[in-house]
Amino acid sequence: MVIRVKNLVKRYGNLVALDHLSLDVKEGEIFGLLGPNGSGKTTAINCILSLLKFDKGDIEVFNKPMTPESYDTKRDIGIVMQNVAVYKELTVYENIDYFCGLYVPDKVKRKQLVDEAIQFVGLEDYVKFQPKKLSGGLLRRLNIACGIAHKPKLIILDEPTVAVDPQSRNKILEGILELNRQGATIVYTSHYMEEVEQICSRILIIDKGKAIASGTKEELKNMITIGEKITLQTYGLTPEQISAAGNLPNVLSAEYNGSNLVIKSTKGKNNLESVLDFAKQEGIQFGTIYSELPTLNDVFLEITGKELRD
């Protein structure tokens, strides 16, 4: 096991930031820690890294208890912080070299690692730039390079794509998958469910410091009753029509907001066909109709009663 956390409790005065949180991260996986802002993701990471004191619980990294003095363990960890943590006075190359040098004293080996990291994040054209001259996306890439240049076995990325343009975001996500292919175990925290769905092999959803569900994305989606969500863009439905839609076979609920009729159904092969028949029978004119499988947001909504982005 790469990380094992058992019954972790962290309080800030009366506020319980982590409430008996347990998690296991296996070697070679991309583990997603998903939760809304303030759910305790960064607090959990800081406790795992032995930066934060906690009230109760056990933390092991690479099967050893994690302490601030666990230098051997730390050597194999790379961290990409939520906030960009680089020196504004140093160039791109110097920043990566400085942080890599805290892990790798050998100059020759370090130069090779730094060059590889620069190439990996695509900053070859900016090596002599100071951070203030980089765009937000490039700055995030520099932040990642500083965290992974020493080729760690475990990489923790704490919301690495916040305020990043789509192009850089895709580059970052592709990079994470590549790091994983190269053998690194990844812990990825985010409140963007699409990203977590896209790259994580296993996901833990947390809310208010508590683990509320965990598993692969398929396992998580199987936990809820909704199997399909069909949306019709239409106007002027009567209450009777909405009620009739709710009574169709397999339908769990039908909600209408004046322009979209959203029908949530259990799993089934013929849900879309049945809705189309219903629309034809009722003479409902619609602009578009589409079917979606449930998302992690639906999982979160069904378990907590609120949206992931609330």
Residues at the site binding another protein, with contacts judged by CB under 8 A = 12, 46, 49-53, 68-69, 71-72, 74-75, 77, 79, 81, 83-87, 89-90, 94, 98-99, 101-103, 105, 146-147
- Kindly give, in sequence order, each residue whose CB lies less than 8 Å from that of residue 279, ignoring residues fewer than 6 positions away: 232, 234, 286, 289
Would you say 42 or 214 has its CB closer to another protein? 42
Pairing of strands 202-207, 30-34: parallel
* Shortest distance in whole angstroms from residue 53 CB to another protein: 5
* Shortest distance in whole angstroms from residue 46 CB to another protein: 6
Query: Cα separations (Å) of 20 from 13, 32, 54, 211?
Result: 16, 18, 11, 8
Would you say 146 or 296 has its CB closer to another protein? 146
52 by Cβ neighbours in 10 Å (0-12 / 13-18 / 19+) ranks as: middle
* Shortest distance in whole angstroms from residue 54 CB to another protein: 9
Q: Name the β-bridge partners of 154.
A: 77, 185
Q: Residue 269 and residue 196: Cα distance in Å, rounded? A: 27
* Shortest distance in whole angstroms from residue 140 CB to another protein: 13
For residues 146 and 68, the answer to whether their CB atoms sit within 8 Å is no
Q: Residue 64 and residue 13: Cα distance in Å, rounded? A: 29
* Shortest distance in whole angstroms from residue 79 CB to another protein: 5
Would you say 55 or 292 has its CB closer to another protein? 55
Would you say 99 or 256 has its CB closer to another protein? 99
Would you say 99 or 126 has its CB closer to another protein? 99
For residue 244, how many C-alpha atoms fall within 13 Å in the half-sphere facing its CB? 13
* Shortest distance in whole angstroms from residue 34 CB to another protein: 21
Would you say 26 or 75 has its CB closer to another protein? 75
**Tokens encoding 133:** 């001259």
